[in-house]
């Protein structure tokens, strides 16, 4: 059985603050301030940003934690 890698995508929600998104990415994803800022800027400017690629089992944990923090996130 071939397992396809998936993408964890952060979506712009017009609810969370820029700083809130940055802090969540740093806490959950282990990003440094520069990585988190870049993701937040990409989401702000384009509406979405791929924040991680991998298998559904590993991405699902991150998705759950980020959703609990109020972020809009999906796996494709």
- Average pLDDT, integer, range 4-16: 93
| 5 in Cβ contact with 56 (< 8 Å) | no
Mean pLDDT of the chain: 94
Residue 2 has pLDDT above 70, yes or no: no
Q: Where are the domains of the chain?
A: 6-75
- Average pLDDT, integer, range 37-53: 96
Write the pLDDT tens digit of every residue in 15-31. Answer: 999 999 999 999 999 99
Cα 53-59-31 angle, rounded to 5 deg: 70
d(CA 73, CA 29): 13
**Fold of the domain built from segment(s) 6-75:** Ribosomal Protein L30; Chain: A, (3.30.1390)
* Residue ranges of E strands in 19-68: 48-54
- Report pLDDT for 11: 97
d(CA 49, CA 43): 5
- Report pLDDT for 14: 86
């Amino acid at each position: 059985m071939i397992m396809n890698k998936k993408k964890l995508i952060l979506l712009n929600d017009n609810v969370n603050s820029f700083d809130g998104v940055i802090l969540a990415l740093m806490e959950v994803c282990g990003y440094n301030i520069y990585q988190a800022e870049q993701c937040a800027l990409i989401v702000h400017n384009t509406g979405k940003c791929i924040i991680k690629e991998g298998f559904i089992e590993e991405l699902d944990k991150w998705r759950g934690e980020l959703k609990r923090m109020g972020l809009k996130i999906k796996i494709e």
